[in-house]
Amino acid sequence: MTIYKYIKKLFLNSKILLPLYVIFIGFTLEYSVKLLIRSSDILMADKALGSFSVYCFVFFTYISFEFCRKCKKDNIEECLQSISGGYKQVLKSQLLLLNNLILIFTAIILILQFAQYIK
């Protein structure tokens, strides 16, 4: 099993991180769709989504911190320090997973933005 698959499995088996991420995505979808339906002015909707970006930053900072803390708590980094280049692989895998989560979220927001302009 590659290190990335193990890190992904650790995130998916988390009792807090995965449900929190899914709830946040759901809340974002609900907020954006309500904003899309109510708003007749495109600039006003963009302003509202722009102010929402602060909450996104705080949320993803928290998720990143908790995920890195969980990896340290499960002694993954300590075990892999004995392997040549293992610690770097863990850091790369964590960064790649967190990057993928942000890319999924960004894709959802972009689709909603395009739907707003088509409306």
- Rounded to whole angstroms, the Cα distance separating 58 from 64 reads 10
pTM for the whole structure: 0.77
**pLDDT score of 20:** 92
Angle at 30 between CA 29 and CA 35, to 5 degrees: 100
Best CA proximity match to 28, nearest among 102, 117, 119 = 102
**pLDDT score of 78:** 66
**pLDDT score of 19:** 92
- Rounded to whole angstroms, the Cα distance separating 74 from 30 reads 35
Q: What is the pLDDT along the chain (119 residues), one digit of tens a residue?
A: 577 888 888 888 888 888 999 999 998 888 877 777 776 666 666 676 777 788 888 999 999 888 888 877 776 666 666 777 777 787 888 889 889 999 998 888 888 778 777 76
- The DSSP symbol for 37 reads H
Joined tokens for residue 92: 């790369």
- Rounded to whole angstroms, the Cα distance separating 115 from 95 reads 30
**pLDDT score of 90:** 77
**pLDDT score of 92:** 84
**pLDDT score of 77:** 64
Ranges of each domain in the chain: 3-118
**pLDDT score of 28:** 84
